[in-house]
């Protein structure tokens, strides 16, 4: 149990933006995951993803990691921002772009424009 929570922590902390979703951004397996990953992609910024359907340990343990019961879960800058509805709302009001830009810039992974 500790090992899987440590692995989740490393994924969250080592990626400026990560979405835990059902399926992949190219082949989502649920509508909420699809809409959330599309909002992330629309920023034009890089993000990591974990297909929870391919990793039963993460599927079982992630809801306990940040006390969030559903998928997808989106982490920006090491913090849970929420699921699909919150991500879409942030995208619509422009905050998602800024959150992701800040997280990518802090990580040093950004490309100069």
Cα distance between residue 15 and residue 42, in whole Å = 18
To the question of whether residue 84 is assigned a binding role by annotation, the answer is no
Residue 75 tokens, joined: 């982490």
What are phi and psi for residue 6, nearest 5 degrees? -65, -40
Cα distance between residue 9 and residue 48, in whole Å = 14
> Binding site, residues?
30
> Binding site for [2Fe-2S] cluster, residues?
30
């Amino acid at each position: 149990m500790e090992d899987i929570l440590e692995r989740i922590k490393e994924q969250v902390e080592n990626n400026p933006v990560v979405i835990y979703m059902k399926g992949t951004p190219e082949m989502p397996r649920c509508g909420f995951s699809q809409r959330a990953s599309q909002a992330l992609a629309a920023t034009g910024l890089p993000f990591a993803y974990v297909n929870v359907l391919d990793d039963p340990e993460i599927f079982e343990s992630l809801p306990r990691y940040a006390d969030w019961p559903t998928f997808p879960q989106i982490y920006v800058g090491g913090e849970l921002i929420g699921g699909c509805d919150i991500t879409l709302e942030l995208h619509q009001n422009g905050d998602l772009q800024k959150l992701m830009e800040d997280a990518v810039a802090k990580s040093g992974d950004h490309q100069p424009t």
